[in-house]
Amino acid sequence: MYKAVVDRFASPYGFLLVMVASAVLTGCGGGSGGGGDHADGGGELIAAAAPLPSGQVSVSVTRSNIRRLAMAGDAFTASVTASWSATNLETRRIYLQARDTGTLFGPAVTIAARAGANVRLELPVLSDASAGEYRGRIELRACEDETCVSVFPDASTSVAYRLQLQPAPDWQTHQADAAHRGYVGMLLDPAKFAKAWEWSRPPGTEPIGGINPVTTADGKVYVTDDVYFGTATLRALDESNGAEVWTRSFGSVPALNPPAVSGGRVHVAVTGHEATSLWTFDAQTGALIRSAPFEGQWPHLLAPVVHQDAVYTGGGYYGGTVYSFSLATGARNWATKSGDDDMFVPAVDDSFVYHYDGTGLLQLDRTTGAVLARIADPFGPLTTGYSYHAAPMIGSANNVIAFSGGAFSGRASSNTEQYGQRVLTNFLLGSNVLGWTSANAYLTAPALANGVVYAARNAPMSLDAIDEATGRVLWSWTPPAGSGDAKFHRNVVATRNLVFVSTDASVYAIDIRKRAHVWRYPAPGMLALSAGRTLYIATGASASNGKLVAIRLK
């Protein structure tokens, strides 16, 4: 007598699995029964399953998330969610594979999938993808094996993409660019951060020994000596290892200020009576292009600003002056008298120049320097004649944000931080009125990213995220207890996902979404972030100690 058991059930992979149990032959003494195949002396008889038609599989996309705009070097993925259905698969497994038919994403990703379930597949962007426009399709296929050697016929679909990878900007001047937002729109992974190298200003007899805030371009970082009647040098260092590419000495000068770099040229001001001049060099070779004199008693300045066809800088005798020079010839375009003596630079856009003169915001015609509008600031009416130690920051909604009033540092050098904290004021350009003034006073040069102003204050110690539209503090961060950090210093740098800020002991990276720090380097300083994804720390909490640390962020 035969006993046969047939069990049918659904596997975890979503196909119907048919199992046919053994038919057990029973009898006496192993004698033969009434027909059928069997093993000599008795045993198991394997029943054959009836053949099923060949499997048919269909694949559908339920959701896709592929960026349209990103920055070259960002680490991100193309995400596609898909599901599948099938008939008559017998015991074959199903794998879903996503692959890029273009040249931007890879490698292919394959996942075992259950029928009807949504499966998310993510393809990483290639780390060496250069700036440009990319077009292609993310193709999804149903396969019988994990390597997709065997693909089910007609079981595929695809999603088209068109993505623009923008080139990463360099740190060209004070707080990154002519808008002074301190923002570089790249995505960064703190797990990849590592110190690359450290450089120190060569020893000499000059008493200051510090360096000014740095700027970057095309794989180089540009450094100037902060001097007080001493031998001053401009240097170009290789971003990969800190080696000197070229140096240019100015001899003994009263003061050398921070450099600006744009369009293959480096611009830097020497200041002090008859020595006051704006120097321009070839950024690749260091060759002198020209020197354009302007007026200056004993001013110290922030880095010049380059925008379109002109270079802008502060300066002036007995009160400040904003200067514009032709980028092509070096000839002076115009000079507009301001209030504060020094330590300022204007913000510039395609039409206007914005300058805080100690008592309010001036809107100047970019071509002529004529004052088109003035918005008085009631929080700084008695500070004319002091150093400013700041620059206006162009907002994202026809507004400019600036510190109210001047400041004092004892030495009025870009290497030396000011003592006092000041409120931030939002000037509305269309109506020429004040929008808001911050409830707290801040010390650090702020950053602006995606409608949020980031600024740090002391007493109490707090990095605040401030709503650009209302001035309301959205959230705050403080260093962890027991960290040894007592005060914030210097400037804030923002990216798409992180905010960098310095205390008197460390530099932190704060995750904007988590509102918690995800990285720390045990030295304070002035910060700059290059297109090559290198964070530079000109070390020293309130004054430079002459060292530059490079942190590789990729």
pLDDT tens-digit readout, 26-70: 333 334 333 333 333 333 333 444 443 456 889 999 999 999 999
Q: Mind listing the pLDDT tens digit for each residue in 336-361? A: 998 777 999 999 999 999 999 988 99
| Mean pLDDT confidence for 524-548 | 97
Confidence at 385, pLDDT banded by 50, 70, 90 = low
pLDDT at 90: 66
Q: Is pLDDT above 90 for 25? A: no
Alpha carbons 43 and 59: distance in angstroms, whole number: 45
Q: pTM for this structure?
A: 0.86
Give the tens place of pLDDT for each residue, 480-489. 999 999 999 9
pLDDT exceeding 90 applies to what percent of the chain? 77
Average pLDDT for 134-151? 93
Give all strands (DSSP E) within 263-398, no chain letters.
Answer: 265-271, 277-282, 288-293, 305-307, 310-315, 321-326, 332-337, 347-348, 352-356, 360-365, 371-376, 393-394
Do residues 423 and 451 touch, judged by C-beta distance below 8 A?
A: no
What rounded mean pLDDT belongs to the chain?
Answer: 89
Summarize pLDDT for 269-318 with one digit per residue, the tens.
999 999 999 999 999 999 999 999 999 988 999 999 999 999 999 998 88
Q: What is the pLDDT of residue 535?
A: 98
d(CA 490, CA 311): 25
Q: Look at 173-177, 379-383, 428-432 and tell me which has the smallest mean pLDDT.
A: 379-383
What is the pLDDT, as a whole number, of residue 23? 32
Three-state DSSP state, 270: strand
* Percent of the chain predicted with pLDDT > 70: 89
Mean pLDDT, residues 140-161 taken together: 92
Query: pLDDT-based confidence at 22, cuts 50/70/90?
Result: very low
C-alpha distances in angstroms, 328 versus 209, 263, 290, 308, 349?
34, 11, 11, 10, 18
Q: Residue 265 pLDDT > 90, yes or no?
A: yes
Residues 6+ apart with CB under 8 A from 75: 124, 125, 127, 187, 189
User: Would you state the structure tokens that stand for residue 137, as one six-digit string?
Assistant: 């399709």
pLDDT band for position 463 (cuts 50, 70, 90):
very high
Greater confidence (321 vs 382) lies with 321
Is the pLDDT at 474 greater than 60? The verdict is yes
Give the separation between CA 536 and CA 220, rounded to whole angstroms.
11
